[in-house]
Structure 1
């Protein structure tokens, strides 16, 4: 039977929401079928399924409309039998041939894969749902929720400086989920130790300008990244790609995000280290992390350090920001503005773009 979305074992999805409960819809995990167009969609309310196929423009936000993504994400299924926990290479998932293991973590595995038709290379991140459902990352957040959040956020973003999620593959008979990304495999740096030598200000400026453009686009679309750091900045053909949106948050109303423990402590702003509030301002959080990242890129060390968590938090909240003698006056002024401990006085993206050091 011909469906209005031309689905067989695969289909494309822009962004949909339920007309009843207003929740976003996901075509995996628990399946529901729209009575109007046969498109399989899931809605938490599980009612009036015939109304669930109405598209909206871009993401899920009550405050503003977002642009429709030019290339919708493909959502696919497969009946492949594979033990993801032990597999390394020499297997295929749908049209992708796995070439080599890139990284294996506790919760997900990343592979370099090749499209068997086009020959193009991609990065594939595979989550084990069985493990994910049993892992609590704190504040009631499971790894499954992190994977779903990354899909939902990236579904509504389309910018040259943000990594593109191209496809989601759900196993039909096994508990694993594949996310296929454009390949951007050049890290700018690693923030685990001091760098010798650090980047020049000219090199750092080129990276930072692209970072500003990507973050500005996210914020305009009501997305706060919440984990900006060098490891989450990749390069593809000299173009910066911001990645890892698992703990990012969409601002539904106001300008605050929920205060959570996820992220990288060395990049936490002071308001995350000493706040008893359930929510903090979203944009200043990303601005602070951008400042720490820029400082690290140029000087090779983190601006605030501590051997233990409480010592690190004390340094972030109370230590004075210092600079090497080689630091230019313009960069020093920019970093002081971005790393202002009082978030109400911290630089905004508009102020950063207008700063003389960037020359945007």
Structure 2
């Protein structure tokens, strides 16, 4: 038993020594192949960095600068980059004049920025891994680490390989996602027009790429040649990739005789997109706060559009006017102001007052980061009181009295609160059907209204519609505001009765002369209708050329002719208030009574 154990011991020792030699050999082999792998991956990482540097690189020191030979406007439309108003000034003899075209070329901004973000985050990691692998390669060449630690070392390097593979894959995916539409890549050709309008000459080629942190447009003027291309333009980003395309141009060899470029730094595009995202966020905020749905367009003016909106909770309809703030800023008011400042001031005035015969402004939505201003007001769907501001259908006697009574009630309320409207005309007098199917007139559009400091405040700035301007506004001298509104009310009453204004002319100069000098005619009959002498007398007092002799709103209210209308209107409103109170709508009683 003991002899057999003695014989077995040397055999085990020999086996152990053989295992150790085998293990050492395996580790040496592992080290050898590991070194080869590290060599190849370091080279691969270096190539990947060179490729990314070719596509991306660093932003040029002259970023944003354009060659004198090419100009282009670059802007954001939605989430697209658009190049427009492209002008190429090729100086060769065959192209003495500039080539002007509009380029309908779109690059998807989200993809550009996605590529930008991935490159910014991954290139640093790629460079760090390359450096790490380079250090490990030096260790392997110096017979480090020792054999006992090779397995751990292999595990670390393998994980590094995996990380490197993921980074390279992300970079390649980013490059694939980018897919800039150009002569080499047209992934969106079925959706977007990529051509110049008008078309460029056949010898001119334009290319798009991302290079050195910029979205780049390059233009090449070509000429047929028999020799190989050797003169690649200095600074040309496309290099061999694009030159190969140029060489195949129409199946013949060509020479680049002129080159120009214009670029937009990616950070600048990011800023443009950030601004766009802020606008989108603001619109979402407005939508969530207003909780309304845009239904249809009601009208469109020089500086804005009016929409019908509906509250999602109560289903109540409102009017929303969207005003272009940029357009208003360009209109000068006074020496240092602009129209936008005036509009904001007057909106603050309008929002403070509520009256039965004044369109109620519910809310003003305005933020510094938006180019639009929204005015939310009550919806008056009856339209203007007359069908035109110049030639219109006259009203009958009853409607004339009723609507003029409503107009003076509203004007009297404004004047009592030291507000002048400055743009009274039929187009700004809207009809609304209220309870019991009563149709009332409401004064709208306070865009040029003004708040006076005192009743006798002098004014110099004219505003409003020419046909409705008072004579004193056209002299160049100072004037008072209240008589101006009364004159406009007189012109409006004249149109209620006769269907046209008293003064019509082909030019402003002639019109202003008539307003200041010509007497006004008051026919006693309109069709089959006889115009009451009291009504003519009232119009004469409203249209006195001397503002000091002109009626005030208080004098109009004690005029004999409209007395029936005042009493009738007041009686109707008392009945209306009592009915509301009886039917449990007492919460509105104070509001209605305050405007009585």
Partner Cα separation in structure 2 for residue 193 and residue 282 of structure 1? 24
TM-score normalised over the length of structure 1:
0.71
Question: Considering only aligned residues, what root-mean-square deviation do their CA atoms show, in Å?
Answer: 2.3
Residue in structure 1 matched with residue 461 of structure 2 by the alignment? 260
- Residue 236 of structure 1: how far off its partner (Å): 1.5
Superposition pairs of residues 300-339 of structure 1, within 5 angstroms? 300-326=499-525, 327-339=531-543
Give 1:194's match in structure 2, choosing from 376, 386, 391.
391
Question: Is contact 2:359–2:378 with CA below 8 Å preserved after alignment?
Answer: yes
Change (3 A) 1:141 1:332: farther
- Residue 136 of structure 1: how far off its partner (Å): 2.7
Question: Is contact 2:329–2:340 with CA below 8 Å preserved after alignment?
Answer: yes
Q: Does 1:248 align with 2:449?
A: yes
Residue in structure 1 matched with residue 470 of structure 2 by the alignment? 269
Deviates more, 1:143-152 or 1:104-113: 143-152
Residue in structure 2 matched with residue 208 of structure 1 by the alignment? 404
Question: Is contact 2:544–2:550 with CA below 8 Å preserved after alignment?
Answer: yes
Residue in structure 2 matched with residue 68 of structure 1 by the alignment? none
Question: Is contact 2:331–2:339 with CA below 8 Å preserved after alignment?
Answer: yes
Larger RCO: 1 or 2 (CA < 8 Å, sep 6+): 1
Partner Cα separation in structure 2 for residue 249 and residue 192 of structure 1? 23
Partner Cα separation in structure 2 for residue 123 and residue 82 of structure 1? 23
Q: Which has the higher helix share?
A: 2
Q: Does 1:218 align with 2:414?
A: yes
Q: Does 1:355 align with 2:567?
A: no
Question: Is contact 2:470–2:484 with CA below 8 Å preserved after alignment?
Answer: yes
- Residue 108 of structure 1: how far off its partner (Å): 1.1
- Residue 256 of structure 1: how far off its partner (Å): 2.5
- Residue 322 of structure 1: how far off its partner (Å): 0.8
Partner Cα separation in structure 2 for residue 343 and residue 282 of structure 1? 10
- Residue 333 of structure 1: how far off its partner (Å): 0.4
Change (3 A) 1:113 1:93: farther
- Residue 332 of structure 1: how far off its partner (Å): 0.5
Superposition pairs of residues 1-16 of structure 1, within 5 angstroms? none
SS in 2 for 1:345: coil
- Residue 140 of structure 1: how far off its partner (Å): 5.3
- Residue 234 of structure 1: how far off its partner (Å): 0.7
Partner Cα separation in structure 2 for residue 139 and residue 224 of structure 1? 22
Q: Does 1:157 align with 2:353?
A: yes
Q: Does 1:132 align with 2:328?
A: yes
Partner Cα separation in structure 1 for residue 517 and residue 317 of structure 2? 47
Question: Is contact 1:305–1:312 with CA below 8 Å preserved after alignment?
Answer: yes
- Residue 303 of structure 1: how far off its partner (Å): 0.9
- When Rg is computed on C-alpha atoms for both structures, the one with the higher figure is 2
Question: Is contact 2:308–2:317 with CA below 8 Å preserved after alignment?
Answer: yes
TM-score normalised over the length of structure 2:
0.44
Change (3 A) 1:110 1:329: same
Change (3 A) 1:329 1:281: same
Q: Does 1:231 align with 2:430?
A: no
- Residue 261 of structure 1: how far off its partner (Å): 3.0
